[in-house]
Every structure is written in C-alpha cells, then in structure tokens.
Amino acid sequence: MNSNHLSFFDTTLRDGEQSPGCSMTTQEKLTMAHALEDLGVDIIEAGFAMASEGDFAAIATITQAIRKPRIASLARAKSEDIEMAARALKFADRARIHVFLASSDLHLEYKLKIERAEALDLCGESVRLARSLCDDVEFSPEDATRSDREFLVEMVRIAVEAGATTINMPDTVGYTTPEEYGAMFREVRQRIPAIDEKGVILSSHCHDDLGLAVANSLAAVEAGARQVECTINGIGERAGNAALEEIAAALYVRADRYGITNNIKLDQLYPTSEVLGNLITFRPSPNKAVVGTNAFAHESGIHQHGVLANPLCYEIMTPQLVGVTKTHLVLGKHSGRAALRHRLEQLGFTVSREELQHVYYRFVALADRKKSIYDQDLVGLLPDHIRERRCEPVSELD
C-alpha cells in the first residue's frame, strides 16, 4: 500500500441518504453509484443491508453493476446484521463489511445499555464473524471523539487483533476540532504497533455540526489516515458529512502541504454534484465551496477586473478543473467598468473610453434599482449610435 495514497470512501448512498429529503430508490442509487464510479471513488458504501428490504436490494443491485470501486455494507455488531450484509454483498467483485459499535460511555449507557466489558467482547466477536465472511472488514468505534481514550485504544486494539483491515474513528456528532482529531489518530497509531505492522488503514469520518468536517478530515490525513469517508455535496445526518469535493479540491490546490495522491477525477466533481442534485430534493447552497453556483461567480468590480486580467487573482483553481464550464461574471451594482466592457464586447458592442463612462453611469443607476441585470437591459442603456454599429456577438452568455 502506497503510504502517500489516500482512498476515498463515499457514503452518499448510506449516511448521505439518511438526511431528510435525500432518500433514493434502488434505481436512483444505481444511477448515483455509476456517477461515483466515473468520479473515481475507491469504496462505495451502498447502504445498510439490515435496515430495510430496499437497502438490501439496492446493495445487491449495485454489486452486480459496479465493478471498479469496492462495495461496502454497514452492519451493527450483531451476527444477524453481519450475515445480512454478507448476503447483500454476495455478487461483489470486491466486498467490504463495515461493522460499527459505540465506544463512548454516553452511547453505551443510554443507547445500548451495556457495560464496557460487554462492548469489548462484542467488538472482537463481530469483527471475527465479519472476517470469516469477507476478507475486507472495517470497524468503527462510534462516537470515537467523545470516548474515553484508554477505552477507545483498547477497543481498536481488539478490532485489529480480530482481523479488521480498516479502522475508522468517526467524529459521529461533529464535536471535535482539527487539533484534537489529528492528535487522536497519532496516539492510537503510536499505542497500537499492530496497525502499522499489519498494514491496517486508518480512516476518518466527520460530521459538520460545527462546520469543521473537512478541516477535521484533512487533519486526520496529516496524522496518517489513508482513507476519508465523505459524501457528495456534504449531505448527511443533521448538518451533513465532510464534502468529498472539498477534500479532493483541497488536496489538489494544497498539494504542496499534503503531498497525497488519490484516484478522484476532479473534472467529474461538478457533474457528479449535478447528478445528486437531480436525484434528491435540494441542491447545494449557492455559496457552497467547489460546486455551488457562486463558487466561480464574481460581482465585485475589483474582483471582476482582477479575474479578467488573470483569473488567479481571485480564483485558486479554474472552474474547468472541477468540471464547471467557465467563470461567471455577474453584473450588478458592485460591478466595475471592466466587467461591463467585457459583457458589451461579448454582445457585439465596442465602445470607446468616453462612451463606456457614459454607459457605466446609467448602468450603476439601473443596478441600484434592479437586482438582476439582463442583456436586454444593457442593450437598452446604449445610445442609438452604439447599437447601430453592433458586430456579431463573440460568445454566449457566461
């Protein structure tokens, strides 16, 4: 295993689908799975086999249609869950059973109503059972970031000894900070030598309750995690999961810092986001990083002038890098003369400096009264003598 290679574990179809408004039919899940395969994700968590007949059917269907990514099913630390997951994954070329069990005292006492000792026994038994049914087993101590550290280390040690090939330490409720999360990975890795000796992969799984999911995921990568669990558009329980597109873009833009390779095809990020948006009931917020409609849009005159001179002035990556066609200059009351001239030239009108000044004053007055400025508005601002010398437009509306 390349120590500088990061695997992307996409859980859009499992954790993401648990978000209100994000449920998908089996056919919709299959459509999304094909998009994820095209994107280059390494593992697709296709569902929770024991959760419903629909989830079982979706997992089984995906295993027969998707060949490149590994297909995973979630399972509680219960024999019936694990056996159901194995049946759902029967036709997968490469399968993974993902077993989870709470490790925090809060979850053990109030949710599972069991003692620590019983939890440790369940951990070992469930991982051994899963490993007897599948060569690839991931174990997650749920609510790891709110767990007693000594107990967490002991549970992870037992899971590794029982045969887990991946250890995922989730920030289940989005509680931790980057410094804390990175330190947890370093400590667990240091205190359990078998992780490195056996080539066990450490994985992050972060929620965005404090808006830190991506930052925490990147901190885990710096601390040695070589798998990140994430979703398209960051959908998921409550405030969502770490957004796959943001992690992938950060690793590319800041390759100088991370030096990590991965299989994500960056130019498929926006198309994949669009596929998901067409399947569920909402799209990303306009100001969503990487894939939001405003991610490459500029209205400020200073920014527009800079982008026209050199996009790098205000864009740390090109829109084409992530599959967006082009930068979008929005004309509004904050726009400057450079953007106005640029749009008029696209519409086929060449103006002198004096003419531009005259039109610009009229444009600003209109923009103060009107939120959206359309091409016909711009043409209407032009004196007759400028409209009469119109050339063929040089491009479509950007």
Which residue spans of the chain are classified as CATH 3.20.20.70?
Answer: 7-279
**Residue among 299, 303, 278, 208 at smallest CA distance from 246:** 208
- The per-residue pLDDT for 398 is 43
Burial letters 332-360, b for 16+ CB under 10 A, else e = bbbbbbbbbbbbbebbebebeeebbeebb
| H helix or E strand, kind and range, residue 269 | helix 269-279
d(CA 58, CA 62): 6
Query: Which residues share a beta bridge with 140?
Result: 100
Radius of gyration of the chain (CA): 25
d(CA 157, CA 170): 16
CB 382 within 8 A of CB 349: yes
Query: pTM here?
Result: 0.86
**Pairing status of strand 297-298 against strand 95-102:** unpaired
Q: Give the C-alpha distances (Å, rounded to integers) separating 69 from 15, 36, 37, 48.
A: 18, 9, 6, 17
CATH superfamily of 7-279: Aldolase class I (3.20.20.70)
How does pLDDT run along the chain (398 residues), one tens digit per residue? 448 999 999 999 999 999 899 999 999 999 999 999 999 999 999 999 999 999 999 999 999 999 999 999 999 999 999 999 999 999 999 999 999 999 999 999 999 999 999 999 999 999 999 999 999 999 999 999 999 999 999 999 999 999 999 999 999 999 999 999 999 999 999 999 999 999 999 999 999 999 999 999 999 999 999 999 999 999 999 999 999 999 999 999 999 999 999 999 999 999 999 999 999 999 999 899 999 877 876 655 667 667 677 777 767 888 899 998 766 666 777 788 888 888 788 888 889 999 999 898 888 888 888 777 777 788 888 988 888 777 765 554 44
